[in-house]
Structure 1
């Protein structure tokens, strides 16, 4: 088939038909905890407005979570990968969380769900009491369904906080009220521009110290922290400063192999959006790591990094398009439509390069199907 390239040319391309790994057994991983932040599947035939009502194909969405669990991965539900706050509102998120927790219970899958303040519109006029009430409502909903919490960053808090002390107050009050330890989530401005300057500082080192102070003051209520800053050195520096028993969950979709492997001082667990797109490879690599086979771990996972860096290239928040496109290419959903019309957030050239990188990483499950579907998408761009 013909693929458009970044220089404006069309290039003949055929998949290599090579697979770099065997399908994992689905057994739980022994050496690392690995969450995949899962996407949602849009219902393309719903008459609901895709820009506002987030029509979801529930069966296909739950089937993808069963796929992730079958590989031994845990599911991080209703996160930014699921277009949370970017097409998926709190009302739909509640149904998604409730369904996924029930599904996890039925199949023995591990799950944690995002609690935030996205039903509270960000504004400098929002009060800290309102932010706390919004956090409390979502935390209580998740725990009321027997779920674990990932405490997401708050746009509303970022908009109204006057300094680090406001973050310490809000997080302190929420952490004192949850019934079991949570995973904190520090999402950098490259993923969500409305979260720039989180923890009360633009400087990342100063922001980190505020976050660490909150963790140290409430270590009994913090299972770990996921940071998504795309800066391996910052993650390693913070990892080495965490109190005993508090885990680091990498959210670095650029440098995850080295961070998960770790060094003589420790390692990161994983809570990654890219694990949705590369789930079979991620699971196979983690099973190799369990065996102490770091060579195979890197052989499998390093091949996925060019694909991940492409999917998460600037503007980083558009990465959801690439994740869903991978699911479409591999037959996990019958269409390439997204809530909010986000399938249009990347160019045909970007998707063509994604196809090549996925092939090179051994991540096209059925190359013939992938070719047919790639051609359909390119036809919409005028490439026959």
Structure 2
């Protein structure tokens, strides 16, 4: 029996959890052949910086870049400066620029694949903002990403959602931006469960109408669109849209609830991956994708289906707080020495939530060193007033 932890239950009591064994992840060398798989990567806060952690936290660049090297070593690609890195939620554009610059250089040094987010988050969505302002903000960030020799992930814009008068504004603005980029981009449709400020994106709250506008943008500019990542947590919606894309334009699933079946696909197609949960389940995802290359569907599903309860827990409502669970997994697995986050986001989930995350990760074999994870979990529980008998 592994170490015992006293965990809080949802009804206010406690229960004993004995950690099991680590999962056996033997990862073949080389890149995946049948799917492109991006992991949106988190950033590591510098816990010793004498600065306001809410307004102006420092990034620990050594550990942040080390985690990206870890993801590349598993064969995964890195989606940089996305919402998993708390983009627009404590990671401001000045820090995002440095992150893009450093990570792009690191990718070139190790031969890793990277794509970086470009948006308008340095432009506050206020009443005076115009479409011209939004376009200029997009142009500035796209130019910076391309200057660092990285493909662009064109992120949804809060400022655009605030000032657009209808779907025509989206179609015109996206056409203007896509006309200027030098290489095809990945568009990103982020649902309002991830960012409430994006409600009604593409000019409609109705998803059928919104999808039509988004598809119009893609078809009208298909030479400049590598693909689209949609994060709506609705598998049927993604499959429907996937079948309506122009030939050669990829679907990248952002569905952290239904990714095993979406990546596997069906007789009419499949999705590539651009997922936040891959940050937390990276070894399992890597082995599963190699199995998929071999059409070993039993191994593929056996590995990924075990991770779904954990992912659904991490991304539960309010979904935008999922970053806390992602970083907690990195802490439990020894990728960083502390559980502190920029913006103080470590406080965004309850101790009950974190305890259930720990148990689900253990059940999925995702605690790479169960003894270390249990020791760290005990420290967090003690600080929360849940006494642990042996540390």
Q: TM-score, normalised by structure 2?
A: 0.97
What aligned pairs does 1:194-209 form with structure 2 within 5 A after superposition? 194-209=197-212
Contact kept, 8 Å, 2:22 with 2:370, in 1: the verdict is no
Whether 2:157 is the aligned partner of 1:136: answer no
2:365 counterpart residue number: 362
CA–CA distance in 1 between the matches of 2:163 and 2:26? 48
2:91 counterpart residue number: 88
1:287 counterpart residue number: 290
Deviations 1:248-307 (A, max 9, x none): 000000000000000000000000000000000000100000111011000000000000
CA–CA distance in 1 between the matches of 2:143 and 2:236? 35
CA–CA distance in 2 between the matches of 1:121 and 1:26? 44
CA–CA distance in 1 between the matches of 2:57 and 2:28? 34
1:13 counterpart residue number: 17
The runs of 5 or more residues in structure 1 that have no matched partner are: none
CA–CA distance in 1 between the matches of 2:36 and 2:362? 27
Name segments (4+ residues, structure 1) moved above 6 Å: none
1:313 is displaced (CA, Å) by 0.2
CA shift in 2, pair 1:5/1:26, >3 Å: farther
Contact kept, 8 Å, 1:226 with 1:248, in 2: the verdict is yes
Whether 2:224 is the aligned partner of 1:221: answer yes
**TM-align CA RMSD:** 0.7
Deviations 1:327-351 (A, max 9, x none): 0000000000000000000000000
Contact kept, 8 Å, 2:42 with 2:86, in 1: the verdict is yes
1:26 is displaced (CA, Å) by 4.2
Deviations 1:136-179 (A, max 9, x none): 00000010111110000000000000000000111000000000
1:254 counterpart residue number: 257
SS in 2 for 1:13: strand
1:50 is displaced (CA, Å) by 1.4
What aligned pairs does 1:316-331 form with structure 2 within 5 A after superposition? 316-331=319-334
SS in 2 for 1:46: coil
CA–CA distance in 1 between the matches of 2:178 and 2:89? 26
Deviations 1:207-231 (A, max 9, x none): 0000000000000000000000000
What aligned pairs does 1:152-301 form with structure 2 within 5 A after superposition? 152-301=155-304
Deviations 1:84-107 (A, max 9, x none): 000000000000000000000000
Q: TM-score, normalised by structure 1?
A: 0.99
Contact kept, 8 Å, 1:164 with 1:201, in 2: the verdict is yes
Out of 34, 37, 40, the position equivalent to 1:34 is 37
1:125 is displaced (CA, Å) by 2.5
Whether 2:106 is the aligned partner of 1:103: answer yes
CA–CA distance in 2 between the matches of 1:311 and 1:360? 15
Contact kept, 8 Å, 2:22 with 2:368, in 1: the verdict is no
Whether 2:12 is the aligned partner of 1:2: answer no
2:312 counterpart residue number: 309
Contact kept, 8 Å, 2:184 with 2:223, in 1: the verdict is yes
Contact kept, 8 Å, 1:227 with 1:235, in 2: the verdict is yes
CA–CA distance in 2 between the matches of 1:359 and 1:17? 8
The runs of 5 or more residues in structure 2 that have no matched partner are: none
CA–CA distance in 1 between the matches of 2:337 and 2:86? 19
What aligned pairs does 1:105-124 form with structure 2 within 5 A after superposition? 105-124=108-127
SS in 2 for 1:106: helix
Aligned residues: 383
1:18 is displaced (CA, Å) by 4.4
CA–CA distance in 2 between the matches of 1:35 and 1:54? 26
CA–CA distance in 2 between the matches of 1:303 and 1:370? 19
